Structure formats: structure tokens, C-alpha cells
Chain A
């Protein structure tokens, strides 16, 4: 089946730093999405990005479908960015999630 690998598994930053999270796929990218799960457990859709680049404020994402990876950029990180970042890829009606990147932003 589809395998989704995320790196790094853990990341600790100082407030204001930038970071890049990576997502690799075992199969052709299809309907890739990025999510943020905050410390209260809420899962928030950040990007729906099957290909190309999108930006939303301090966050941006790029998916290179032909090379089977996606990147999530966080600039000028804030403590509220802490939590787990998941990428997920679609196979039919099933969204397969990666293990996530645990991000901690310290003040």
C-alpha cells in the first residue's frame, strides 16, 4: 500500500526561526494535504496541494508530484505553531497519514 514518510520526526525551534518539513511518498502523489494538530488535539487543514506551490501567511507548501515529495515551510515561527504536522495522501476515499513531525517552538 501507499507509504507516507515524514521528516524530521521531531523539531525544536526558537521563536522567529524558519523551518522546512518534508513528506515523501511511495506512490504517485494524489490529492496531497497538510494538517496541523495543535496541542488541544484539533486537526486543521493547512493546504490541499496535489502539485505546485501555495502560500498562506507565514506558511507555504510545495509539492513536486513527479519526484514524490512535498515540503511545508514555516517562516518566523511562533509558539502557536507548536503541535504535530501531518501530511496525507489520497488513495480512493482513504487518506493515508504520515507519522507526523512534532514541532515545538520555544519563546
Chain B
């Protein structure tokens, strides 16, 4: 058990809808990262938050947004969903601001857009 908690495990929704994925980092970790894993794109970095503030952005679409709350949990919001958004979405956490410590992943949320 990595200590990173993601909910829900599975999500099935229709095109055009909006969903929210939730992540609780490991105790003591201040950074939260979101990754998308699809068959054709592999593991893609979306966005990082550190202690409530956005720190880095990767290949995140404008239809997607995220935030980190004072209790350090994070939410990833996906809107106007398209078939191509179907993927495994991972949250990960680490202690510091930069990746100079191990990154621990949650079990992921499998999103299916129909």
C-alpha cells in the first residue's frame, strides 16, 4: 500500500459530461502530481501542486483543471469529456517540491467515456 488514496476506482460516463477525481496524498507529502495513462500515449504528466499552489504544468488540456486544498487532498476535474479521454488517471505524491525523493502512486481511477 503506497499510502496514496484515489477515488473512485472506476468511472463510466458519457461524452460531454464532467467528472471529478479525488486524491489524498501520503501522510507528510506536500506535493501531488496527476498523470494520465492511455494505451497510445503512455504515462503523461498533467500537473503538480505543492502545498496548495500549482507548481508545474504538463500536457494538461484546457478542459481539465485541478486544485489542492488546505488539507492537501487534490481534485482533478475533467469536463466536456471526449472518447479520447478514456484512460487510467493516477495521482502521486512526494515529500518535497521537486522530484528529489521517491514518487508514490495511488491505484488510479479508470475512466471510461462512452
Contacts and interface: CB of A to CB of B under 8 A. Distances in A.
A41 B39 CA distance: 12
Interface string B83-114: 00000101010000111111111011010000
Interface stretch (A7-15, A21-29, A67-75, A94-102): A94-102
Nearest to B58: A94
Interface of A: 31, 33, 35, 41-45, 48, 86, 88, 90, 92-97, 99-100
B46 to A, nearest CB: 10
A90 B58 CA distance: 13
Contacts, number: 57
A90 B87 CA distance: 23
B18 interface: no
Contact of A93 (B55, B101, B110): B55
Contact of B103 (A33, A42, A100): A33
A7 B90 CA distance: 24
B102 A33 contact: yes
Contacts of B48: 93
Contact of A97 (B42, B101, B110): B42
Q: Is the interface of A mostly helix, strand, loop or mixed?
A: strand
Nearest to B105: A43
B5 to A, nearest CB: 13
B19 interface: no
A92 B54 CA distance: 14
A43 B48 CA distance: 18
Nearest to A46: B102
Contact of B98 (A33, A41, A42, A93): A93
Contacts of B58: 94
Contacts of A35: 105
B45 interface: yes
Given A94-B45, A94-B56, A45 B100 contact: no
B11 interface: no
